[in-house]
Amino acid sequence: MPTLISKLLSTCPPAVRGFSASLLLILWLHPFTGAGATDSMRESPVVRAVRKASPAVVNISSAYETRTRPNPFSGFGFGNPFFEEFFKDFFDPGFEQRRQNASLGSGVIIDGERGLILTNAHVIQRSGTITVVLEDRREFEARLVGADPDSDLAVLRIDSREKLPAIAMGQSEDLMIGETVIAIGNPFGFSHTVTTGVVSAVHRSIRADDRVLHDFIQIDASINPGNSGGPLLNINGELVGINTAIYAKAQGIGFAIPISKAKKIVASLIQYGEVQPAWIGIVAQELDERLAQYLKYPNRKGAMIRAVEPESPAQAAGLKEGDVLLAVGTRKIAELDDYLAATRAVTAGETLELQVWRAGRTLTAGIKTRLYPVENADQLAWNLLGVRVQDLSPKNRKEFRIAAREGVVIFELKAGSHLARIGARPGDLLRQVDDSGVGNLEDFRKAVIKSRLKSSVVLLVQRGEQGYYVTVSL
């Protein structure tokens, strides 16, 4: 190196030879100065955001067991369901095959003091044991605080003697189309995976399996199942969404649940273990051209209040049948789905500001939501389904010869109701309302309240040992 420096100096004019010698000597004695400067230049806002948030990103693995009974006659033409049932009843239950399965996903610590972790509900939906692995390789067994399949969110809790690193909370209300976002996951428990992209759309609705999910952030980076449940960050490293792998057909497209929506659901899950649906008291319908002409509403599209429930928050706020819904907060209502999406994540106790059109004027109403009164559920079931039910008891089991241990018993049917017309009768059991299982009267009341604003519900009706799925229009 000294020989090289001498050769370089010999080419310099005498006037700058002394300065050049000092500079070259410094660079020779400090060879890492240039590398350090390069690292600093390479440290982009994305790198800083990932470094800030990474300690709060966790791996989640859940173990569950499935049991199957292999049919030795399956290759000999005995595919009839009758033979399947015969085989199931005839052979010893010990003949079952048991298989251990595991699902992997990600999560993010939202409260380091209490050890609360936010993830997707589908990551832990069939779980037995839930294990959480932190970035520093520490492992914890987690407890489920609460889950809401409708929003695909779940909250877990882990116990640690030390305060855990938590994510910085951002907000999703002001996300800009084209804004840079960062998705982080920990699919295998070894290291984080990071993808970047931009916000492609907000308030996006997508169809997944047999249902439509609303109000998602769409980004131009795909989310794989292992990254599902991890955080979506803004450029400041703040949490603005929860990544979710719910759209199997996505190619280079990802979706995230906005954190503004998630915060409300998380608060309800922590307090109650489930989402308590808010009672607004509005039954809305699509506004078609005929109705618009009748109301003399100039825009010809939107959503209209079809009915206001008695003694509801909407009635207290002065809303009326025939009012046209214009906005919920800052969200404009162009069709019925807009209203449903805007109110779907509303929890009891919130105040909503609604704008409505009535007889040529725009009115604003503040609605203080609350829980639907459970004591009204029995009358609601009579009005919507045309049934009165009761818990199973020794008396009705004997009267109707019921062997089942779960469900509610129909003891009265409204004349002319759908169930009455298809042949339902007292003594039949109701075992399920949509996706909510019914074990007792309390379950039934909750399920009816939850489904009251739908256009139809699917009931599982049981008579004897036979079960029938029935769709009832509301």
Residues designated catalytic? 122, 152, 228
Backbone angles phi, psi at 453, to 5 degrees: -95, 5
User: For the chain, how big is the Rg over CA atoms in Å?
Assistant: 30
Distance of CA 117 to the CA centre of its chain: 14
**DSSP secondary-structure letter at 221?**
S
Output the six-digit token pair for 25: 């000597």
With 0-12 / 13-18 / 19 or more C-beta atoms within 10 angstroms meaning exposed / middle / buried, residue 318 is middle
Output the six-digit token pair for 137: 């390789």
Distances (CA, A) of 51 to 48, 167, 218, 366: 5, 11, 24, 43
Which one, of 347, 302, 345, 310, lies nearest residue 327 by Cα? 302
Output the six-digit token pair for 455: 């256009």
**Cβ contact 367:354 at 8 Å:** yes
**Cβ contact 103:123 at 8 Å:** yes
Output the six-digit token pair for 334: 């162009």
Give dist(CA 84, CA 105) in Å, integer. Answer: 35
Distances (CA, A) of 185 to 66, 105, 231, 298: 27, 8, 7, 49
Give dist(CA 58, CA 60) in Å, integer. Answer: 6
* Buried/exposed 78-112: b ≥16 CB within 10 Å, e otherwise: eeeeebeeebeeeeeeeeeeeeeeebbbbbbbbbb
